[in-house]
Amino acid sequence: MAEFIKKWKRYFTFAALLSCFVNILQLIFPFYMFTIYRNIVISYSTVSLANITTIAVFAIMVWGVQLCPIPAAGHGGQKNVSGHAACYFQRHDQRG
């Protein structure tokens, strides 16, 4: 068992860090809505609304790239699949 843990520790650490990153990205919408209702609605600040929306859109784009990376040009002639679920299932079908 100790040998197994020693051999696979690096992979489990990577999986744990990736899981933490994904969980933080999953909180984009709740944090966005909380900020809107707590700060923006009260102050009627359109500049703040534009700033927080830009940050949220950027975070969603990072999340989307992580879920469904775009293959490099000339990657076996495969076309990009629209939608995260379709891309996820396509990648997993090709593996197994």
Q: How many domains does the chain have?
A: 1
**56: containing domain:** 2-95
pLDDT in tens, 50-74: 988 898 888 888 877 666 655 555 5
Task: Find the length of the chain.
Answer: 96
**pLDDT value at residue 81:** 46
Give the mean pLDDT of 22-46: 85
**pLDDT value at residue 19:** 92
**Residue 48 clears pLDDT 70, i.e. is over it:** yes
Neighbours of 37 (CB within 10 A): 10
- Angle CA(26)–CA(32)–CA(33) in degrees, nearest 5? 110
The model carries a pTM of: 0.44
